[in-house]
């Protein structure tokens, strides 16, 4: 390089921060005769002074790099301005007779509010039941979930701090906001979640409970979830055990009562792999529990009929796209009859009114709604906009209410009259702070390594030229049967304004095409997920949307694992990678508290075949020294109970030591967030500003 021709570049290089060194302390493990060396095991110990010092140094290095991007502060100001103009949004609707409860997101408030309304059409009736921002103004107290009493006069709310999801159950009066003295600790943790269900007279709750100290060894305190009962006004220490001692160590329990209050259902997941057992009892005192479905029965969900006399079951047994069975509440699974058979659509949800059965379907990504009589007759397909996503459906005053989303329009809560099938928008809808009228969404198919056609939805400005010059960002998840539905994100306006294309891939491991699509991407078949994603990236290049030098990829959690596998297997296919709260050491993930819950999805190193599959794609173990890796930005939360942030620490150190490119490898370790749930608004904006600053810099996307 001629120093007389490039003085500015030389100055920039000389003043760039140096990557903090990371000491190697090799540890060798042996699995089924295979020796595996780990240089960065010591970074697992979050309480070690050396690890804390390493984290501080890495955060400072990343902060210096990010703050040196010339438009980073402007990006944060622009995002903040967007949120300031955003209309309040409502989510998590729950109906009780004559009243609706909802979580309301109202920028600039840091956390969502719990509100009540008499109707989704009457905003004037809205009243705040609980504002966590008043409990802790910096936004460090969040609601994990809530359950109103049958009469709507009381509400049970699980609260946790710092994004930890380590929750305590509190009780409030809905008319005055008064907090009752009852407190139930250890009802919620990220490993198995948590739940509660009321007695019909609102005098007490059944609730999930994790072991208290002294009841189990320290390593088991976030496992062995069981069900207990609490009567309001009595000491929590005297709460009686109800059931659960025979449940799996990795049980995840969801509780629900019938509308008439006479029946209690416990749906028990066997970790995160999609297997469920179901148990039923009457809510009257002393009633016994009985198991009505086992893991191998393939019952994914059960819904009570409106009068509590029947159970509607969503089954994938011999029907991977799902079918609906019905049996009497007092009956058995063997007595059930098929009322909605399997079809080309994937059955996602069941909602019942007094006269109709509504079925939410998934068609490879977009949604549809079918209406039937209660015995599955007289089917009718409701009219929805093309490429819509449907979520949160519930019955309210014999109507159904559901949230409708798309890629190019903000979400709205809709209502449907079962008598006519007419759908209309309620008063609960969003307006976008930015205009998306110039954006279109197209749906194409990539061809994976084994010939599987994989859908990819592509958002672009109308008239975009497919000459390979466009920066593009590809997003996916690919796990747990979780489906990527169309969704609107006004933050992407910044991306489009710099000429960007945004794409979402519906890869295997998800549920877009049913249980077969999910199972084709779990356990020893996980490599299909990474092949699908790479095929979608290559599709964007081959079709002229972009080129590898202008392509970025992004994912979080299981999608963070996807990013790690993608960059180690395809280091030249993209220029930049953003990985949120990801898993990168697949040989030790099951040793983390929540990692054990993932064994039913990923597999275990204890099984020789599963070990070989895990070792073959484990990102940390497939980093190769001297490889020119793309730019990588890892983000993790220090209070994350779902994915140990040590994964991000160790993967950062390994890549920094191995890469032969000059592209940055940085990490952002946040002390005020966990896995993402409960993160305050200001921290969310700051994180997104850092992500955009990183991507705009690496893809050379200047403001227009």
Residue 6, pLDDT above cutoff 80: no
**223, 244 Cβ separation under 8 angstroms:** no
Q: How confident is the model at residue 36 (pLDDT cuts 50, 70, 90)?
A: very high
**C-alpha angle 520-526-532 in degrees, rounded to nearest 5:** 75
- Backbone dihedral angles phi then psi of residue 7, each to the nearest 5 degrees: -65, -40
Q: What is the mean pLDDT of the chain?
A: 93
Type and span of the H or E element at 649: helix 646-658
Q: How confident is the model at residue 11 (pLDDT cuts 50, 70, 90)?
A: very low
Whats the size of the chain, residue-wise?
704
Mean pLDDT, residues 253-274 taken together: 94
Residue 171, pLDDT above cutoff 60: yes
**pLDDT tens-place string over residues 16-29:** 679 999 999 999 99
Residue 3, pLDDT above cutoff 50: no
**C-alpha angle 625-626-628 in degrees, rounded to nearest 5:** 115
Residue 137, pLDDT above cutoff 80: no
Cα–Cα dist 65/18, whole Å: 10
Looking at residue 16, its pLDDT comes to 63
Count of C-beta atoms within a 10 Å radius of residue 619: 27
Residue 354, pLDDT above cutoff 90: yes
**pLDDT tens-place string over residues 76-99:** 999 999 999 988 899 999 999 999
Longest dimension (CA), the chain: 88
**421, 373 Cβ separation under 8 angstroms:** no
Cα–Cα dist 642/554, whole Å: 19
Q: Which residue has the tokens 């198991």?
A: 291
**580, 633 Cβ separation under 8 angstroms:** no
Three-state SS at 487: coil
- Backbone dihedral angles phi then psi of residue 691, each to the nearest 5 degrees: -65, -45
Q: How confident is the model at residue 639 (pLDDT cuts 50, 70, 90)?
A: confident
Q: Which of 130-144, 507-521, 540-554 has the lowest mean pLDDT?
A: 130-144
**C-alpha angle 653-654-657 in degrees, rounded to nearest 5:** 85
Cα–Cα dist 493/82, whole Å: 10
Report the topology of domain 15-81+439-698. Rossmann fold (3.40.50)
Task: Tell me which of 278, 580, 621, 675 is the catalytic residue.
Answer: 675
Here the tokens at position 609 are 């075949």
Dihedral angle of Cα 488, 492, 497, 498, to the nearest 10 degrees: -140
Mean pLDDT, residues 266-288 taken together: 95
Task: Enumerate the domain spans of the chain.
Answer: 15-81+439-698
Query: In the beta sheet, which residues pair with residue 194?
Result: none
Task: Tell me which of 62, 483, 557, 673 is the catalytic residue.
Answer: 557
Report percent pLDDT > 70 for the chain.
97
Q: Which of 261-270, 401-410, 485-494, 590-599 has the lowest mean pLDDT?
A: 590-599
Mean pLDDT, residues 3-25 taken together: 60
Predicted structure pTM score: 0.90
- Backbone dihedral angles phi then psi of residue 492, each to the nearest 5 degrees: -70, -5
Mean pLDDT, residues 269-288 taken together: 95
Looking at residue 146, its pLDDT comes to 96
Query: In the beta sheet, which residues pair with residue 243?
Result: 227
Q: What is the 3-state secondary structure (H, E, C) of 596-636?
A: HHHHHHHCCCCCHHHHHHHHHHCHHHHCCCCCCCCEEEEEE
- Backbone dihedral angles phi then psi of residue 219, each to the nearest 5 degrees: -70, -15
- Backbone dihedral angles phi then psi of residue 558, each to the nearest 5 degrees: -60, -35
Residue 593, pLDDT above cutoff 80: no
Q: What is the 3-state secondary structure (H, E, C) of 59-96?
A: HHHHHHHHHCCCCHHHHHHHHHHHHHHCCCEEEEEEEE
Q: Residue 448 catalytic?
A: no
Residue 385, pLDDT above cutoff 50: yes
Q: Tell me the HSE value of 123 on the side-chain side, using a 13 A CA sphere.
A: 11
Q: Residue 336 catalytic?
A: no
- Please, is 658 exposed, middle or buried when counting C-beta atoms within 10 Å of its C-beta (0-12, 13-18, 19+)? middle
544: left (phi over 0), alpha (psi -120 to 50) or beta: left
Output DSSP code: residue 17. Answer: P
């Amino acid at each position: 390089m001629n120093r007389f021709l490039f003085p500015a570049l030389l100055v920039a290089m000389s003043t760039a921060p140096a990557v903090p060194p990371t000491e190697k302390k090799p540890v060798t493990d042996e699995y089924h005769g295979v020796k595996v060396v780990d240089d960065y095991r010591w970074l697992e110990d979050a309480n070690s002074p050396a690890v804390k010092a390493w984290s501080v140094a890495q955060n400072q290095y990343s902060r210096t790099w990010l703050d040196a991007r010339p438009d980073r502060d402007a990006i944060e100001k622009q995002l903040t301005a967007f949120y300031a103009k955003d209309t309040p949004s409502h989510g998590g609707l729950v109906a009780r007779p004559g009243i609706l409860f909802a979580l309301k997101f109202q920028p600039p408030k840091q956390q969502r509010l719990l509100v009540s309304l008499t109707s989704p059409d009457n905003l004037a009736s809205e009243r705040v039941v609980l504002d966590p921002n008043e409990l802790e103004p910096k936004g460090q107290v969040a609601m994990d979930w809530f359950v109103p009493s049958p009469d709507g006069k009381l509400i049970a709310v699980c609260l946790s701090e710092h994004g930890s999801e380590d929750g305590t159950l509190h009780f409030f009066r809905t008319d005055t906001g008064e907090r009752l003295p009852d407190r139930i600790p250890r009802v919620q943790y990220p490993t198995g979640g948590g739940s509660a269900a009321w007695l019909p007279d609102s005098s007490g709750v059944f609730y999930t409970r994790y072991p208290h100290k002294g009841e189990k060894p320290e390593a088991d305190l976030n496992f062995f979830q069981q069900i207990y009962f609490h009567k309001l006004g009595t000491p929590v220490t005297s709460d009686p055990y109800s059931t659960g001692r025979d449940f799996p160590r990795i049980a995840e329990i969801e509780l629900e009562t019938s509308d008439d209050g006479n029946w209690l259902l416990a749906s028990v997941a066997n970790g995160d792999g999609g297997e469920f057992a179901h148990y039923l009892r009457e809510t009257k005192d002393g009633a016994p529990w009985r198991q009505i479905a086992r893991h191998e029965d393939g019952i994914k969900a059960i819904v009570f009929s409106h009068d509590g006399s029947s159970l509607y079951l969503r089954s994938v047994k011999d029907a991977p796209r799902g079918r609906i069975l019905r049996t009497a509440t007092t009956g058995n699974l063997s007595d059930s009859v098929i009322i909605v058979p399997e079809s080309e659509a994937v059955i996602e949800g069941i909602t019942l009114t007094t006269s109709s059965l509504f079925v939410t379907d998934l068609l490879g990504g977009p949604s549809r709604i079918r209406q039937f009589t209660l015995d599955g007759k007289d089917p009718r397909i409701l009219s929805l906009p093309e490429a819509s996503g449907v979520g949160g459906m519930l019955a309210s005053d014999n109507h159904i209410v559901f949230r409708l989303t798309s890629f190019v329009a903000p979400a709205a809560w809709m209502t449907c009259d079962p008598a006519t099938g007419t759908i209309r928008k309620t008063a609960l809808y969003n307006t976008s702070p930015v205009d998306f009228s110039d954006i279109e969404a197209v749906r194409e198919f990539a061809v994976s390594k084994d010939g599987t056609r994989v859908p990819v939805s592509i958002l672009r400005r109308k008239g975009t030229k497919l000459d390979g010059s466009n920066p593009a960002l590809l997003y996916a998840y690919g796990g747990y049967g979780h489906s990527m539905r169309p969704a609107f994100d006004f933050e992407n306006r910044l991306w489009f304004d710099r000429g960007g294309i945004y794409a979402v891939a519906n890869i295997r491991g998800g549920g877009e095409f049913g249980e077969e699509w999910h199972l084709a991407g779990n356990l020893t078949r996980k490599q299909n997920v990474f092949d699908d994603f790479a095929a979608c990236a290559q599709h964007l290049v081959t079709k002229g949307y972009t080129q590898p030098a202008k392509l970025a990829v992004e994912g979080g959690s299981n999608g963070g694992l996807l990013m790690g596998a993608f960059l180690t297997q395809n280091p030249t296919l993209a220029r930049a990678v953003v990985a949120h709260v990801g898993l990168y050491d697949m040989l030790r993930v099951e040793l983390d508290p929540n990692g054990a819950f993932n064994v039913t999805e990923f597999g275990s190193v204890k099984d020789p075949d599963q070990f070989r599959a895990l070792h073959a794609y484990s990102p940390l173990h497939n980093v190769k020294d001297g490889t020119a890796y793309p730019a990588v930005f890892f983000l993790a939360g220090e209070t994350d109970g779902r994915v140990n942030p040590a994964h991000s620490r160790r993967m950062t150190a390994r890549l920094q030591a191995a890469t032969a490119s000059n592209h940055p490898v940085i990490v952002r370790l946040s002390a005020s967030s966990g896995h993402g749930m409960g993160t305050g608004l200001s921290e969310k904006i700051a994180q997104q500003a850092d992500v955009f600053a990183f991507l705009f810099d690496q893809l050379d996307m200047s403001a227009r």
